[in-house]
């Protein structure tokens, strides 16, 4: 007689179980969730870095900028020719007067053939001899410098340093002080890296406003961007890598220059020497 008692329920053999398909789905969920978490943290750190930069005293910028400047542009690398230094000071004087900045800017000319200039947090600006020799007019150099001054005033470098430090370290710096060694090392990396598109666009806009207030023809910015984007050469890539999309930015600068009324003419660099 057959056994009519209830039989134990057998595990289902349908569905994913521990099949390769289930494992792949679980891994996909973990990877996707991890990516969303990392993206969220990066977004949060980006927003928090801008907020923190507004709250940090200006002395923070100066502390990390000066330390980084001593590394990126040491005394042995700086040009000492008094005529070259005087020329740069003459170009920057109207910019600083029109800028009304909270920072005290310092300038140095580096014995470097690459076509580049960079500004570190706190107002420490380096102009390479390669840029001075590559520019045709004083207005072109002034345009590059006005752009770099804007990065400092808008604290773009400081924001990037805070963003790279990470959220926990950032909060510690804001509320509990902290060691400036790591931020200074990160600031030194700004000399050879690009700002994001939003920061570059803002520096262009503020730089153009500075040129107009100073009475300097803003078309120099357009001409310089056109030159470095249109003439290939061994010295061009570094400037392009740290100042992306020069073609589009040249158009914007040219449009701004169309309505400008420059009141002064800047001297061309001529044959400047480093030493």
What per-residue confidence (pLDDT) applies to 259? 73
Q: State the pLDDT at residue 2.
A: 56
At residue 197, the pLDDT reads: 81
pLDDT at 87: 97
CA distances from 114 to 30, 119, 150, 200 (A): 46, 15, 22, 20
Amino acid 62: pLDDT: 92
CA dist., res. 261 & res. 9, Å (int)? 89
User: Please, where are the H alpha helices in the chain?
Assistant: 20-55, 58-72, 82-99, 129-134, 138-153, 156-165, 167-176, 181-188, 197-214, 219-230, 236-242, 246-258
C-alpha angle 261-252-190 in degrees, rounded to nearest 5: 110
Which domains are present in the chain?
25-258 (3.30.2010.10)
Instruction: State the pTM of this model.
Output: 0.72
All residue ranges of the chain with pLDDT < 50 are 13-16, 33-45, 49, 233-238, 240
**How many Å from the N-terminal Cα to the C-terminal Cα in the chain?**
112
Looking at residue 19, what is its pLDDT?
64
Give the pLDDT score at 92: 95
């Amino acid at each position: 007689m057959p056994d009519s008692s209830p039989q134990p329920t057998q595990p289902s053999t349908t569905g994913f179980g521990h099949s390769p398909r289930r494992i792949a789905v679980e891994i996909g969920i973990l990877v996707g969730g991890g990516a969303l978490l990392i993206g969220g943290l990066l977004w949060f750190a980006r927003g928090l870095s801008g907020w923190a930069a507004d709250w940090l005293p200006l002395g923070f910028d100066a502390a990390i900028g000066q330390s980084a400047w001593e590394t990126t542009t040491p005394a042995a690398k700086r040009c000492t020719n008094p005529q070259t230094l005087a020329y740069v000071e003459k170009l920057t004087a109207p910019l600083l007067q029109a800028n009304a900045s909270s920072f005290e800017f310092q300038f140095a000319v580096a014995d470097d053939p690459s076509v580049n200039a960079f500004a570190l947090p706190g107002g420490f600006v380096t102009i390479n001899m390669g840029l001075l020799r590559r520019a045709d007019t004083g207005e072109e150099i002034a345009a590059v410098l006005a752009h770099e001054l804007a990065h400092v005033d808008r604290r773009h470098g400081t924001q990037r340093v805070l963003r790279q430090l990470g959220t926990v370290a950032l909060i510690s710096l804001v509320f509990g002080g902290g060691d400036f060694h790591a931020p200074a090392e990160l600031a030194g990396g700004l000399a050879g890296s690009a700002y994001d598109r939003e920061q570059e666009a803002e520096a262009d806009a503020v730089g153009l406003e500075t040129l107009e207030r100073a009475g300097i023809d803003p078309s120099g910015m357009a001409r310089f961007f056109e030159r470095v984007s249109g003439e290939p050469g061994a010295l061009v890539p570094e400037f392009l890598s740290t100042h992306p999309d020069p073609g589009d930015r040249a158009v914007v600068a040219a449009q701004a220059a169309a309505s400008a009324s420059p009141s002064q003419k800047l001297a061309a660099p001529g044959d400047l020497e480093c030493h």
